């Protein structure tokens, strides 16, 4: 069995089907069977974990059963099913990444000593000077994120704590700083040639 295939017996909306009137039960059962594999594969592609995908797929169909509107067309119900799937997946990721945040002061009071000082050794003084000139041409936030990430070799999390921003913001700042540095590298190289 492929990793993204769904074991049909693993996901069941049977308890919730008791809420569906008997005349609509078979109609819903057919809708469920037609869409179960599609929804499971969609969820699996979003979360990348078979067990989590099974749980989320069950949650999605339980929500559908509890709020089913049989007056909708089949296409409308399928669109509605995917809307529920998207919102359920979004809720899953929100809950998963909602981590407690603590201030640097609280961490220091608790005994954290901060990152160890790292000695930076350049391979040649010319390269070190060139990097320093390049860094000086960047905005202050870009300089700080590059120094933390590459010179001090801090993790994204440690850099975020040091800079007082979110981890996502560190990633964006790092990307933009590297892009700007690459663009400015040609200008710095040209200035070096002129000074020689």
For 58-100, write each residue's pLDDT tens digit: 998 888 877 776 677 777 888 888 899 999 988 888 887 775 6
Report how far residue 192's alpha carbon sits from residue 195's, in angstroms, rounded to the nearest whole number. 5
Q: Write out pLDDT tens, residues 127-160.
A: 677 777 778 888 888 888 888 888 888 888 988 8
Give me the DSSP letters along 79-137: HHHHHHHHHHHHHHHHHHT------HHHHHHTT---PPP-----S-HHHHHHHHHHHHH
pTM greater than 0.75 (yes/no): no
């Amino acid at each position: 069995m492929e990793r993204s295939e769904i074991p049909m017996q693993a996901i069941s909306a049977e308890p919730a089907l008791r809420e569906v009137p008997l005349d609509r039960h078979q109609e819903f059962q057919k809708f469920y069977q037609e869409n179960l594999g599609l929804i499971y594969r969609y969820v699996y592609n979003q979360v990348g974990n078979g067990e989590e995908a099974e749980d989320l797929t069950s949650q999605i169909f339980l929500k559908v059963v509890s709020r089913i509107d049989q007056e909708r067309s089949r296409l409308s119900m399928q669109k509605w099913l995917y809307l529920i799937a998207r919102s359920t997946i979004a809720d899953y990721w929100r809950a998963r990444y909602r981590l407690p945040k603590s201030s640097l002061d609280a961490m220091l009071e608790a005994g954290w000593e901060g990152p160890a000082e790292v000695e930076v050794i350049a391979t040649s003084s010319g390269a070190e000077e060139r990097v320093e000139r390049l860094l000086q041409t960047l905005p202050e936030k870009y300089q700080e994120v590059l120094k933390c990430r590459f010179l001090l070799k801090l993790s994204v999390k440690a850099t975020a704590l040091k800079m007082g921003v979110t981890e996502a913001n560190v990633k964006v700042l790092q990307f933009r700083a590297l892009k700007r540095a690459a663009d400015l590298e040609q200008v710095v190289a040209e200035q070096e040639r002129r000074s020689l």
